[in-house]
Amino acid sequence: MTQEQTENRTEKAAGEGPQPQGPHEEFTADQQLDLNDQTPEQASEEASYKEKFYYAAAELENSKKRHQREKEQMAKYATETLLQSLLEVIDNFERTLTAISVTEDSPAVKNIKIGIEMVHKQFLSILEQQGVKQLSSLGAPFNPNHHEALSFEESTEVPHMHVMKEYYKGYLLFERLLRPAKVVVAKSEDKTEVEANRKI
């Protein structure tokens, strides 16, 4: 093969250019534009698919957030059972302090009381660090969400449906009730009885 024949063959191959590698490369620009022309049915179907996709994506994101909240709640209240048991220790401290107060004339008894009070306060401080809060119930309006009524007693000093006695204190663990306060609730005379007494 002469040099002239070689050059002619090279020029011919260069003029032909690269051959299409697949059917998608054979579309012209006009044909590509035609693919975007959809019938109303096709457009509606595509919109429906998009809506379902966005809905599924939103549900997945909500599920992730819900799962994360549940994990946080489980970690937050993991010690609930233990703390409920420790409240009985607090009850015993308070009963002991009440009993000592009756016979605290002796210096030795007074020192014992001071020591128990210090331990009691330290115990409450540790529980508070764990999210435990003591409810203030005495004299407060009766709240069935926080109080367990052991009985009702008539009273002229304490307003109607207010706590007049507290046998066991109530506690919250963060915003959740850990234990209700066990109380006695005051009740006033029936209004009809009051009116009847006034007429006499």
Nearest to 185 by CA among 57, 158, 174, 61: 158
Residue 33: alpha-carbon gap to chain centroid: 53
pLDDT computed for residue 193 by the predictor: 47
pLDDT computed for residue 197 by the predictor: 45
Sorted by where each begins, the domain ranges of the chain are 72-130, 135-200
Residue type, 52: K
pLDDT computed for residue 194 by the predictor: 42
Q: What separation in angstroms does the CA of 92 have from each of 35, 38, 170?
A: 82, 80, 15
The single residue listed with the structure tokens 């109380």 is: 183
pLDDT computed for residue 3 by the predictor: 55
CATH code: domain 135-200 is 2.30.22.10
Mean pLDDT by 10 residues, the chain (200 residues): 54 51 49 60 81 84 82 80 88 87 76 88 91 94 96 93 95 94 88 45
Total residues found in the chain within this entry: 200
pLDDT computed for residue 101 by the predictor: 78
**Edge-to-edge strand order for the sheet containing 163-168?**
147-154, 181-187, 163-168
pLDDT computed for residue 65 by the predictor: 82
Angle at which helices 107-129 and 80-102 cross, to 10°: 160
Q: Alpha-carbon distance 66 to 60, whole Å?
A: 10
pLDDT computed for residue 36 by the predictor: 58
What residue spans of 28-181 are helical by DSSP H? 29-35, 40-76, 80-102, 107-129
Does the pTM surpass 0.75? The reply is no
pLDDT computed for residue 43 by the predictor: 78
Rg (CA), the chain: 41
